[in-house]
């Protein structure tokens, strides 16, 4: 019998090595390359060029720390990764990395040590670009957070709506009774004075119910076509007086703003609330600016993310600002950081409720010691 033909072992290894090299070079979704024990690039594949932008001759021999952002290099993160891989047998991490053009991308990284006869000869490094997944995760977190906040505000709004209506009914009885008392013949001056005091208190209560209904989106709006630039310009002196002598007031109106459907009185009340809040946030003086601009965006609580044109009015100050935990609760009715007797806690809730009932939305951005900016965005009228 003839002996079966056998491929020499060394030829088989060479063939497998070429196949493996071809496989690695063909991968474009992963940067797969080898480092020497000190971290210098020894090999490079097509995925490395696609993800990081370097050609083979540009990067081989260079230290892999050039892929790391400067702050991570200062912390010694590249060498810590190699040391962890050598000590524990593998290193896995996720973080920001740099491309050749200086742009950043989110990377998932795996480093494995390569041993030969008990000696470390280098590292195998695999990098994957996960920027889209990372940003999608952030958007999902923001959407979930916005949904939870929206549900909480909706629940508070329903409760507020019921309480405001019941309270308003009680106030109606009180006010009607006071009117009847004041019209009784023979009422002395002391009685009329007490009636007048009670009436002022009842009027204050009626104002509170209107603010509560505004937050709960239960007020009756008289929406008409208006140009917000015109409404703001007509009230500029009122805003200046509200700011006081220690606060600089600036009006920066965008050109050619389209019209919106809005209740002018409620809009002015909202602007007054915002200007007053900004003034109170700057006890030593500062700067308040009201600006307008046209924006194409989706409402924060729109689950479908449909964009449309909004005319946005921004009220910004450089006051004390708010920490993150206060920002989350700032629009809740009766929530206030002011001293007792210096605020009802209904100003911001009225603004946000008015914006929502007008078909738009409001946003609040604030950082402690850096000021606050609130945007009221109303949908433009489509001609």
Region 83-90 average pLDDT? 94
- pLDDT at residue 154 greater than cutoff 80: no
Look at 234 and 146; give whichever has higher pLDDT: 234
In the prediction, which pLDDT does 261 show?
Answer: 93
Do residues 77 and 69 lie in contact, with contact meaning Cβ atoms separated by under 8 Å? no
Q: Would the CA dihedral through 47, 51, 53, 54 be positive or negative?
A: negative
The proportion of the chain whose per-residue pLDDT surpasses 90, expressed as a percent, equals 39
Helices (H) and strands (E) in the chain, counts: 12, 11
Is the entire prediction scored with pTM above 0.75?
A: no
124 pairs with which residues across the strands?
Answer: 34, 112
Region 208-225 average pLDDT? 66
Do residues 156 and 333 lie in contact, with contact meaning Cβ atoms separated by under 8 Å? yes
In the prediction, which pLDDT does 9 show?
Answer: 45
- Polymer length in residues for the chain: 383
259 — pLDDT class (breaks 50, 70, 90): very high
In the prediction, which pLDDT does 58 show?
Answer: 92
CA distances, 203 to each of 168, 174, 213 (Å):
11, 10, 15
Q: How deeply is 309 buried, as exposed, middle or buried, from its count of CB atoms within 10 A (0-12, 13-18, 19+)?
A: middle
- pLDDT at residue 255 greater than cutoff 60: yes
14 — pLDDT class (breaks 50, 70, 90): very low
The proportion of the chain whose per-residue pLDDT surpasses 70, expressed as a percent, equals 78
306 — pLDDT class (breaks 50, 70, 90): confident
Query: What is the spatial distance between Cα 246 and Cα 276, in angstroms, rounded to a whole number?
Result: 13
Instruction: Delineate the domains of the chain, giving CATH numbers in brackets.
Output: 9-129 (3.30.450.20), 135-217 (1.20.58), 221-383 (3.30.565.10)
C-beta neighbour count of 138 within 10 angstroms: 10
Query: What is the spatial distance between Cα 93 and Cα 91, in angstroms, rounded to a whole number?
Result: 7
- C-alpha angle with apex 375: 372 to 376, nearest 5 degrees? 140
């Amino acid at each position: 019998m003839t002996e079966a033909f056998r491929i020499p072992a060394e030829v088989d290894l060479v063939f497998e090595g070429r196949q493996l090299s071809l496989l690695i070079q063909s991968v474009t979704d992963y940067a797969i390359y080898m480092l020497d024990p000190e971290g210098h690039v020894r090999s490079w594949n097509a995925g490395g060029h696609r993800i990081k932008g370097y050609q083979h001759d540009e990067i081989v021999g260079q230290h892999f720390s050039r892929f790391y952002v400067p702050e991570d290099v200062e912390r010694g993160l590249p060498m810590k990764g190699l040391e962890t891989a050598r000590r524990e047998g593998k290193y896995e991490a996720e973080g920001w990395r740099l491309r050749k053009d200086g742009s950043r991308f989110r990377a998932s990284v795996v480093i494995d040590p390569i041993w030969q006869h008990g000696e470390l000869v280098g590292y195998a490094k695999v990098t994957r670009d996960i920027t889209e997944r990372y940003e999608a995760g952030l958007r999902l977190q923001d959407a979930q957070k916005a949904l939870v906040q929206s549900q909480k505000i909706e629940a508070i709004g329903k409760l507020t709506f019921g309480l405001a209506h019941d309270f308003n009914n009680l106030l109606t009885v009180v006010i009607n009774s006071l009117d009847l008392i004041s019209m009784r013949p023979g009422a002395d001056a002391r009685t009329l004075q007490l009636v007048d005091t009670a009436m002022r208190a009842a009027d204050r209560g009626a104002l509170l119910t209107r603010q509560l209904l505004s937050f709960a989106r239960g007020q009756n709006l008289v929406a008409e076509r208006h140009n917000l630039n015109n409404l703001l310009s007509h009230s500029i002196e009122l805003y200046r007086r509200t700011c006081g002598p220690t606060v600089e007031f600036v009006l920066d109106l965008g050109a050619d703003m389209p019209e919106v459907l809005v209740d002018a009185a409620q809009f002015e009340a909202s602007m007054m609330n915002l200007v007053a809040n900004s003034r109170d946030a700057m006890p030593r003086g500062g700067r308040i600016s009201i600006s307008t601009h046209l924006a194409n965006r989706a409402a924060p609580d729109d689950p479908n993310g449909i964009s449309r044109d909004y005319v946005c009015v921004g009220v910004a100050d450089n006051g004390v600002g708010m920490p993150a935990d206060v920002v989350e609760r700032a629009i809740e009715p009766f929530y206030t950081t002011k001293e007792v007797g210096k605020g009802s806690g209904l100003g911001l809730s009225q603004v946000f409720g008015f914006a929502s009932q007008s078909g738009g939305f409001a946003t609040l951005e604030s950082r402690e010691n850096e000021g606050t900016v609130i945007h009221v965005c109303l949908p433009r009228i489509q001609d």
